[in-house]
Each structure stands twice: as C-alpha cells, then as structure tokens.
Structure 1
C-alpha cells in the first residue's frame, strides 16, 4: 500500500511538472518574436514585464530601458506586446514620416467597454469612420469660433469669471485645481454644448470630479491590469470598476444634453457641435460606416470634453508650480506684461508676438510639465522597419513623448526649467521642432490651436492680476502624479492682488 501511495505521489508531481513545462513552452511559442524584432528585457511567463515597471513613474522605467536597448525596444504586459519608440528622430520617423502606416489605434479591452463594444468616438476609432469624424469635428469647431476672434472673446470672458473667483478668496490659501477645471471646461462646453456652467453648479462639479478620477485610474496599475487581463479583471472587484461607472455618468450627462438639443433644435441656426452633428445625422441616414449616430455623438462629445478639459487645466497647475518655485521668472513675466499690456487692459492674442519671454515660459511649462508622458498607442498597418528593426503588421507602437521633450540631443538643459530653450541670443522667441506636447502627424491633438489660445490668455490674465505664492515652509513638488496625464500633487496657493 505504501508503495502504491509513493508511486501515486510521484505521478501527481510528474503531472504537475509536465503541466508547468507545457505552459512555459506554450508561453514561449506564443510570445516568441519575429526575426530582427526590437530587443527588450527578459519577460516573465504570463505577466510579461508588468511587475518590473515603476507604475508610479512608468515613463522613468521606459527611459532607463533606452540606455540598455536603444530608442526602439519591446516590452510585454500580460498577453500584449508593444514596441516603444523614443527620442525626437525616431518618434518623428514613426508618426510623421510613416504617418499613414501608424495612424490606427490597436484594440483596447478597456476602451471597448467604455465605448460599449464599439470602435467609436474620436480617440479610438479607425479607418474611414475616424477620418470622417475628425474632419467633421475640426470644421464644425472652426465654424463655432476655433481660432477666431469670437473664441478669443469667449476665453477672455471666462478669464474674467476665473479672476473673480480668485478675488473671493481675499488673499487666503486655496486649491487652484477646481477653479482651473471649471474655467477650462467651460470653453469646450461652449463649443460642444453651447453653454457654460457656474462654478457653484453641483452637477458640474461632480462631472469634473468623475472626469479627473477616470483619467487617473486609466493610467494607474488598475487600468494596466484590465488591459493585460480583461477576461479576469472584468469579474473582479476593485478600483478599476470605477473607470466604467465614471464614464457611464459622463456619457449620461452628455446624452441629456443631446436630448435637450433635439427638443429646441433650429435647423437653420445650429448653435454648437451637438446641433451640427444632429443635422448631419439626417444627411447620412443609412451610412452607418461614417459614424453619424446618436450613440457616436455622445462618445465624440465625451472625447472632446475629456481632451478639452484635463490637459489645459493641468498645464495651468504646472504654470503655478514652476513660477512659484522660480519667483525670478514670475517677476520677469509680470514685467513684460506690464510693459506690453499694463495692469488694466485685457490681454489679446495680438499681444503674443510682442511678449517673447512670456511665450517662452509657457512653452517651457508645457515641456517640463510633460502633461501626456506616454502617448496614444498606434498600430502598424503593414510590415515595416524602424531604427533597423522589423515591425510586423498589427504591432502596437508607443511613441513616447517624454523622450522627445527631454531628449538630450535636442535640449541644452533637458532636466532643468529653462525658458531660454525657446529664446535666441537677442531674446526673440524660437520655435523648436522637438516641442511635441500635442504629439504630431495625423493623430496630432485636434484642439491644439484652442489649447494654445487658452494657455496664453489664461496665463497672462492670471499673472497680470496676481502674484502667486504657497504656504510658508512648503516646497512644491515637481514630480507629480501619473495617470493618463501627469498632474501636480494637490497644493494650495496665495493669490496676492498686484
């Protein structure tokens, strides 16, 4: 009997060893790379490099990998392999020179669930649907003021509301994040929904809170785990489930706006993006491949709302951070504002060419703030090569923007806040090719023009009226918190009227 038990025990161990061996071999065969595929660190079975990445600062991990493997390397998260492209020259090669090949987005389990199982919206859609929707969005937003004096006036009016809210603090310490979110979001709300919201509007505050929460969780370990193991994660409790509940709330809010628009729509006088989209739906009935449906209207509006709020308001937070830490820069900006505009006249975009130092400071804030440390994933439409390596069709590609904004071959002092990066020897503003905070190529941020206008007018208005400082003994942190965007840690400021 004891001999039988021993043999049975040996059989069980042998079976377990065989299973482990089989899984390892299967994992190797499934994940082995094509010949001349970009190199990368050794991956663990099943999980890949998931636990070797500093999830608090993933862009730091990927930057370190360039030292070992060069500017084109590969990693794997769970089942998903991706190629990272780093440095200005290689990123430009991928998304500008080979723009047609790397224009589409790869499949994303997370966004498939967010977008209700469809490849829709403006961010994740591909092919003709994406081309048509992007062109439509650009032309519609331009018709409603994007890049025009009417839009400039709307921003200036919102600047007035923002300054009024700061004056209500009466010199006391306050958190600026909420005010910036309100102000910036109201600009895109006017373009998309045709109205602005009061800073005390409770429902709007919840909307902005959920927006920030969704963006933070998407770029966290929870979003990464969902992308790597969707079949398991969708059945597990955890913070990742908040991503979908937050987006559901945001989509519901916009759907209510769509219903409100449908009730009082004047076909001869569209007021905003939603009105124009509804009219376009009637013109394209039966052409489902173009994306003109009510469901896609909600998703496209959501994409515009998300993109038009988080990045610009976060840049303004970094503006306060860097100018409080560099009071000499704040003084020089205010001196230029006083010289060109004075302390009473409202700033206009016509002032920007006469304010090279201020313009340089704004650009350096964007560079050092590094609002989108990674980028949106791209996908190879066909077999190609990058940096001498073979990139098979269907490969997910990450053009890392951090590596461009801090490229030691492009910036004199890449790790230091230095507005002179954008000034020549005579103090004139200089454009830099490696300045790509909005990405580049066919997927370049479609709101770049609006964001540039907002940043200049909000920034100048703030420092024209106030001198900013923080609590005594507090050193503002420049490391920030990484989600989908790179956000400063919460901080309080004093706004002293000038």
Structure 2
C-alpha cells in the first residue's frame, strides 16, 4: 500500500511539473514551441539523426523564433539572418552573455575568453586582442609564419604517394596562380574559400548565448539568464540571401565584374559582441594554405566530380566532413 501511494505521489508531481513547464508564464512571455515533458523537456522529440533536422521542422511550425526545452530549462532558438542580426547586433549587449556547454564547462569552469561572462569576459577579450596584436596579428610577420607552416604541409603532401585514376584541376586550371601578395587578382580564390566555409557548416548551431537582462525581442519577453542559440546554419543556408543554398557555387560571392562581394548572411564566425576573436587570422590562414596548395599541386580524385558528395554529416551538435579520396599531383616547378 505504501509503495502504491508513493507511485501515485510521484505521478501527481510529474503531472504538476508538466503543467508548470508547459506554460511560458513560469519564465516570462517566451516564444512558442513544443510542449515539454518534466525534467526531459523536448529531448525525446528530437530527431536522432541530428538536432538540426529537428529544428528545421520546429521552425516550419513555430516560426523564426521558438522555444525548445533541452532538459528542464527553456532555450530560445533564433532562425535566419535577419533574426540573428536583430539579436546579436541590434541588441548586442542584451545577448552578449555566453551559455554553458556541460562537457566543456567542466574543463574551463567559466574561464577563457570564449566561455567567460561579465567583467571577466571583457577583461579577457581586451587582453586577448592586445596579445594577438603584439604577436603580429594583421601584420606581415604573422603571414610569414603561416607561409612557413604551409611549406611544411607541402613537404608532407609531396611525401605521400597515392594511386591516381583521373586528374582534375580545380579553380585555376593548369596555370600557376599569381603571387600570394597580390590578393586583388585572386577574388575567385576568396570566393571558393567563402563557399567552402559556408557549405561545410561544421558548427551549425553556433555557440549558446545567454540573455544578460530581461529583454523584449520580437514581441516576446526573454528573462535574464535564458540560453539563446543563434542557429548559424540557418543564415549560411538562408534562401533569401543564397540562391539554391544547398548547392556548392563559389560564383555567388562574385559580382558581375568578377569582384568579391559582401553577403550579410555570411557569418561563419558569428556576429555581434561575441564574434570569434580569431576571425582575422583564420581568414589569413585559409587563404595562404589554400593558395599555397594550388600553387604547388593539381588536385585529383578517383571519382568523377559529379559523383563526390561533399555534404557534411551531422554528429550531435556539430557536423563532420565526409570521407573521400583526394590526391595532390605536384606541378612543374612547384
């Protein structure tokens, strides 16, 4: 009899929690979303093949701003270029907090410029920017170090031996590209790098933000401390900014005259106050490594280009590149 009463009590408590969790008033006037279960939230409703697939379905039903319970607490999802910019740029201070990722937080415990908050984050950011500048970020000295590392990679590629079935020259045909310093003559190379970044989309959900104070956003009230995910993939594949977003097409980053053009939806390093500190040096590395490879090698594959699936595979909250064979054929004089 006592066991039966205990089970009944647990059931009643679960139903009570379900009712409480099912009403946004417990937290404020939150955006719409699926009704959560006690403790588990909406986790059982997520697609096992990847969270992004689940969020695509929820966006179609609830709109560009919706609430998901990834456990007992609500998480706000921001979908699309315009919504993400409204939050991270137009209301940058309110959305400048950094949310926790449980596995990573066990290591960093709120330290480090990426995961810190408040005055600690501001101090670390200023220190990091000053330190990176002192080490030469944005200067010729850093480019020289990157080029030196690129040469080590070239040696490793020359030492590998693969069987090649068919040679395929990318980007530049059989001619060597111009000197690395003369970047104005290489807008197509930049366009290819942009499209690789957009298409690979290795962190589609971005990194969680936290609202720093009670915030009015698009007619909703988001309480202080609520986690917010600006889903970067929704911007990088936004059909309002990219025609046929699921196709690989570097030409989308070039204007009619062949010059590189800006696209507001291209935010692989996020945007706003928490944009990646290393964006500048990352772009330099991508450009120098990519052009150095193209100067020294032709690219070959045993499969025809149209048979190669470049679509990243979902793995939890991230994506991983597919596995395929590629060979580097040394150019003459390269």
Paired position in structure 2 for 1:398: 229
| Runs of 5+ unmatched residues, structure 2 | none
Paired position in structure 2 for 1:468: 299
Counterpart Cα distance in 2 of 1:463 and 1:53:
42
> Could you tell which deviates more after superposition, 459-468 or 87-96?
459-468
Contact 1:366 1:437 in 2 (8 A): yes
Change (3 A) 1:336 1:467: closer
- Equivalent pairs counted in the alignment come to 325
Instruction: Please give the TM-score of this superposition, normalised by the length of structure 1.
Output: 0.61
Counterpart Cα distance in 1 of 2:89 and 2:161:
49
- 2:207 aligned with 1:376, yes or no? yes
CA RMSD, aligned part only?
2.3
Contact 1:337 1:460 in 2 (8 A): no
Q: Aligned with 1:410: secondary structure?
A: coil
Q: Return the match for 1:25 from 5, 9, 16.
A: 16
Q: Return the match for 1:159 from 150, 163, 177.
A: 150
| Runs of 5+ unmatched residues, structure 1 | 1-7, 174-323, 342-346
The 5 Å alignment of 1:431-446 reads 431-446=262-277
Paired position in structure 1 for 2:320: 487
Instruction: Please give the TM-score of this superposition, normalised by the length of structure 2.
Output: 0.89
Contact 2:210 2:225 in 1 (8 A): yes
Q: Whose strand proportion is higher, 1 or 2?
A: 2
Q: Aligned with 1:36: secondary structure?
A: coil
Counterpart Cα distance in 1 of 2:85 and 2:303:
44
Contact 1:37 1:391 in 2 (8 A): yes
> Could you tell which deviates more after superposition, 354-363 or 39-48?
39-48
Change (3 A) 1:475 1:419: closer
Q: Whose helix proportion is higher, 1 or 2?
A: 1
Which entry has the higher C-alpha Rg, 1 or 2?
A: 1
Contact 2:99 2:207 in 1 (8 A): no
Counterpart Cα distance in 2 of 1:397 and 1:335:
45
The 5 Å alignment of 1:23-422 reads 23-30=14-21, 32-34=23-25, 36-115=29-108, 118-172=109-163, 331=170, 333-335=171-173, 338=176, 340-341=177-178, 347-348=179-180, 350-422=181-253
Q: Aligned with 1:334: secondary structure?
A: coil
Q: Return the match for 1:426 from 252, 257, 264.
A: 257
Q: Aligned with 1:22: secondary structure?
A: helix
Counterpart Cα distance in 2 of 1:452 and 1:42:
42
